[in-house]
Chain A
Amino acid sequence: MATTGDPADAPERGAGAAGAAATGGSGRLGPPSWLAAVFLLPALVFLGAYMVYPIVFSVYRSLWDADGLVFVGLGNYAAMFASESTFIALRNNVVWLVVAPTLVTVVGLLFAVLTERIRWSTAFKIVVFMPMAISFLASGVIFRLVYEQDPDRGMANAVITSVRDTVAPAASYPDARPRPESPLAEADGGGLALGEPASAGDTVLLPLVGVPNDTLPDGTEKAAEPEAKDGAVTGTVWLDFTRGGGGTEGDLDGAETGLPAMEVQAVRDGEVAATTTTRADGTFTLDGVGGGAYEIRLSARNFTEPYNGVTWLGPALITPSIIGAYLWVWAGFAMVLIAAGLAAIPREALEAARVDGGTEWQVFRRVTVPLLSPVLLVVFVTLMIYVLKIFDLVFIIAPGSVQSDANVLALEMWRVSFGGANDQGLGSALAVFLLLLVIPAMIFQIRRFRQENS
């Protein structure tokens, strides 16, 4: 390792020496230059056939129609911006370019800083870097499972709904309904309302049916009689159904269960004057109602379907969801590069800033980040190049029905040229457009390379 370690450790010096050899006169010992051609030939053949020729041909092909028979000039490029599916792809690519590299770089920086002094940072880095080794297909399958809509199957929604249920348990009775001859009827703004208005001191009964026993929330108790209270409307919401028959409709028969966590409102002139929720035994107290009559209403919220989590794979959220998976794959890359940069910052610079009385945040903002900026730029530009060409993750994670909403240029290029549409003219135009987009990165790279080797 010692011998092989050295050249690796001082590549810049070595590259400089090679550069000097090119211009210097020490070539006397060197072999003739035709020999170089022998060494280079296979590589040049491949580069010519697979990269240089295709670039030229793609530019040429993009000026012809789908079958390559009719010259259309820039028509394909015009079609690219006119067609709706390409436009969505362009728009999504912009979203990707703006969000993904920034997000991944920031997260990588955060991880690099957090792990800098942690004993098990190596283990952490290996875990976060691991997704770089597996295919986008596998990552895509992993996230399809994470993003399943049904909270019973998809992990993301399972976590979200269980957190939500813990923080704000909301009972919901999507099938609950009044009996036909019940005092309750459909209210104007949704939900159910009592036909008779009530005023302070009154007690009201709100019987419902249609709630299956096994869907009742845990801790439900037997329905209790409401107790009248001054200055408040009190009442009971309960399941007006006695098991095994018997009981009187609309009356509390002692054996029936209350419906807890129902939202009850006192409404006058369309304004909600008081709101409360029912207790475990179905009783409620609407405090703070003044004089006069109110309509007592069970709000519509009680009867909506239970919260089912986020529609990750729906048309609205599909791109952010895929960017989330992208972050999972690439964060390790950014973290490891930035951590290397962080380790290379001379600590004198940091100490000096601290001696000058800078707060930790100031030192980070004014010293660490500027010193890291070359590394951050490299990470950012590299990510941009890969983001521009993003294909597999979108193709795998977006279900067929929302693939058009998740579309990106690379996917559109494949779809147009090979995936059915078979318009290789438009496909070539899209490929050339992608190439144009990476040219700034190409220039950036060549300039950097020349700087480092001059």
Chain B
Amino acid sequence: MSGDGVPEAAGQGTAPGTAPAPGAGGAGVGEGAPRRSVGSRIVGRLGSGAVQVVLVLLALFWLVPTLGLFIASLRSPQDNAAAGWWTALASPSQITLENYANLLDNEAFTGSFWNTILITVPATVIIVVIAALAAYAFAWLEFPGRDWLFLGVVGLLVVPLQVALVPIAQIYGALGIFGNIVSVVLFHVGFGLPFAIFLLRNFFAAIPRDLLEAARMDGGKEFTIFRRVILPLGGPAIASLAIFQFLWVWNDLLVALVFADQTSQPMTRALQSEMRQFGANIDVISAGAFLSMIVPLIVFFAFQRYFVQGVMAGAVK
């Protein structure tokens, strides 16, 4: 698994000696470095200026659509219907917080915001706890069939969740929990586990054996070792997993669409139901979509390194 070395490339190159190539850490260094990579040759050929201009344009291409949504959310439905969001740059008087004020007065929407939190937080916590226990067993306990069982988990990583929609809906119907928040949370736990176990097991397995043996020699109980040795050492991996899982559940639409009802629906589903009248509901949709993005964006910028690590670990390895 080179996955754990990847965040280096996300620009946070801090840990030295992680990547095989020492030049990797120097990616941000300017001229004069000994490494002559493909990139540097192309830069030399086309002129650094041209590449920089292209990259600025590309960065704008990535930023401007989001900016467009943000500005649209600050304009009245009439303004949005009359002209594009960019006209607000010339006439800032169009800017108003009315859409947000209306949205926060809308109990259906604020309810869905709380539902999102009530679904996301427990789902994340449960996944981390269950996966950490299982990952510890896969990494450091011995039992018959361990390797085969773990290969099974690896195989389950790619199972499309569509497979479970009909069967689980039937079980939920029989149990009478169809539509409530618990049913949504449990589904996320089920489908989050293979990846969570996979990520943590690979990390735990890399903890130096001596550390564990020493703790066992000292007569530590297995659960104490798990709590006192593994969990603290596994901090970064657990953080990656928690952040990745948090955003995954926060952003989900499909599971909510099938299993949540009107009273337990998260923001994504509440907004989706407005999409049918996109033009007419642009005030609710734009402001709501932006509100639903704020938490993920904060999490992303605050814990960028961990999130990238989590996403990268999700790549087929």
**Cross-chain contact of B21 among A127, A345, A378 (Cβ < 8 A):** A345
- Those of A379-427 within 8 Å (CB) of chain B: 379, 381-382, 385, 388-389, 391-392, 395-396, 399-400, 410, 413-414, 417-418, 424, 427
**Cross-chain contact of B160 among A33, A131, A438 (Cβ < 8 A):** A438
Count class of interface residues, chain A:
35 or more
Asked if B176 CB lies within 8 Å of chain A CBs, one says no
- Those of A31-53 within 8 Å (CB) of chain B: 31, 33, 35-37, 39-40, 42-44, 46-47, 49-51, 53
Asked if A292 CB lies within 8 Å of chain B CBs, one says no
Asked if B122 CB lies within 8 Å of chain A CBs, one says no
In the complex with contacts A117-B40, A155-B65, A54-B167 CB distance below 8 A: yes
In the complex with contacts A18-B139, A29-B217, A155-B86 CB distance below 8 A: yes
Q: Are A113 and B39 in contact (CB under 8 A)?
A: yes
Asked if B184 CB lies within 8 Å of chain A CBs, one says no
Please report the C-alpha to C-alpha distance between residue A446 and residue B206 in the assembled complex, in whole angstroms. Answer: 19
Q: Are A145 and B18 in contact (CB under 8 A)?
A: no
In the complex with contacts A133-B247, A418-B257, A30-B216 CB distance below 8 A: yes
Residues on B with C-beta less than 8 A from A37 are: 143
**Cross-chain contact of A124 among B15, B38, B55, B271 (Cβ < 8 A):** B55
Asked if B24 CB lies within 8 Å of chain A CBs, one says yes
Nearest B residue to A334 via CB reads B315
Q: Are B42 and A114 in contact (CB under 8 A)?
A: yes
Residues on A with C-beta less than 8 A from B162 are: 389, 410, 413-414, 430-431, 434
Asked if A170 CB lies within 8 Å of chain B CBs, one says no
**Cross-chain contact of B134 among A39, A122, A127, A368 (Cβ < 8 A):** A39
Q: Is the interface of A mostly helix, strand, loop or mixed?
A: helix
Q: Is the interface of B mostly helix, strand, loop or mixed?
A: helix
Residues on B with C-beta less than 8 A from A438 are: 158-160
Task: Kindly specify which of A135-143, A177-185, A269-277, A281-289 makes contact with the partner chain.
Answer: A135-143
Please report the C-alpha to C-alpha distance between residue A117 and residue B52 in the assembled complex, in whole angstroms. Answer: 10
Asked if B78 CB lies within 8 Å of chain A CBs, one says no
Contact flags B261-280 to A (C-beta < 8 A → 1, else 0):
00000001001100110100
Q: Are B36 and A424 in contact (CB under 8 A)?
A: no
Q: Are A51 and B165 in contact (CB under 8 A)?
A: no
**Cross-chain contact of A47 among B168, B190, B314 (Cβ < 8 A):** B190
Q: Are B10 and A418 in contact (CB under 8 A)?
A: no
Asked if B110 CB lies within 8 Å of chain A CBs, one says no
Contact flags B12-39 to A (C-beta < 8 A → 1, else 0):
1011011111011001101000011111
Q: Are B72 and A145 in contact (CB under 8 A)?
A: yes
> Which of A143, A396, A435 has the most chain B CB atoms inside 10 A of its CB?
A396
Please report the C-alpha to C-alpha distance between residue A130 and residue B82 in the assembled complex, in whole angstroms. Answer: 30
Please report the C-alpha to C-alpha distance between residue A144 and residue B203 in the assembled complex, in whole angstroms. Answer: 40
Asked if B98 CB lies within 8 Å of chain A CBs, one says no
Shortest A5–chain B CB gap in Å is: 5
Nearest A residue to B14 via CB reads A1
**Cross-chain contact of B258 among A8, A44, A363, A414 (Cβ < 8 A):** A414
Asked if A11 CB lies within 8 Å of chain B CBs, one says yes
Q: Are B154 and A445 in contact (CB under 8 A)?
A: yes
Contact flags A166-191 to B (C-beta < 8 A → 1, else 0):
00000000000000000000000000
Nearest A residue to B217 via CB reads A29
Q: Are B15 and A5 in contact (CB under 8 A)?
A: yes
Q: Are A51 and B314 in contact (CB under 8 A)?
A: no
In the complex with contacts A9-B4, A129-B308, A17-B209 CB distance below 8 A: yes
In the complex with contacts A145-B69, A441-B158, A360-B45 CB distance below 8 A: yes
In the complex with contacts A131-B62, A379-B315, A452-B317, A158-B84 CB distance below 8 A: yes
Q: Are B209 and A21 in contact (CB under 8 A)?
A: yes
Asked if B6 CB lies within 8 Å of chain A CBs, one says yes
In the complex with contacts A114-B42, A121-B27, A137-B292, A396-B275 CB distance below 8 A: yes
In the complex with contacts A51-B194, A446-B151, A138-B293 CB distance below 8 A: yes
Please report the C-alpha to C-alpha distance between residue A146 and residue B62 in the assembled complex, in whole angstroms. Answer: 12
Q: Are A11 and B258 in contact (CB under 8 A)?
A: no
Nearest A residue to B87 via CB reads A152
Please report the C-alpha to C-alpha distance between residue A395 and residue B311 in the assembled complex, in whole angstroms. Answer: 23
Q: Are B233 and A7 in contact (CB under 8 A)?
A: yes
Asked if B174 CB lies within 8 Å of chain A CBs, one says no
Q: Which 6 A-B pairs have the closest CB atoms?
A: A50-B190, A14-B206, A116-B39, A122-B11, A343-B24, A135-B251
Q: List 11 A-B contacts (CB under 8 A).
A: A9-B17, A11-B206, A33-B142, A39-B136, A113-B42, A127-B62, A129-B10, A142-B65, A155-B65, A418-B258, A445-B317
Besides A40-B133, A344-B24, 7 other CB < 8 A contacts? A54-B166, A55-B163, A111-B58, A130-B66, A135-B296, A153-B81, A339-B9
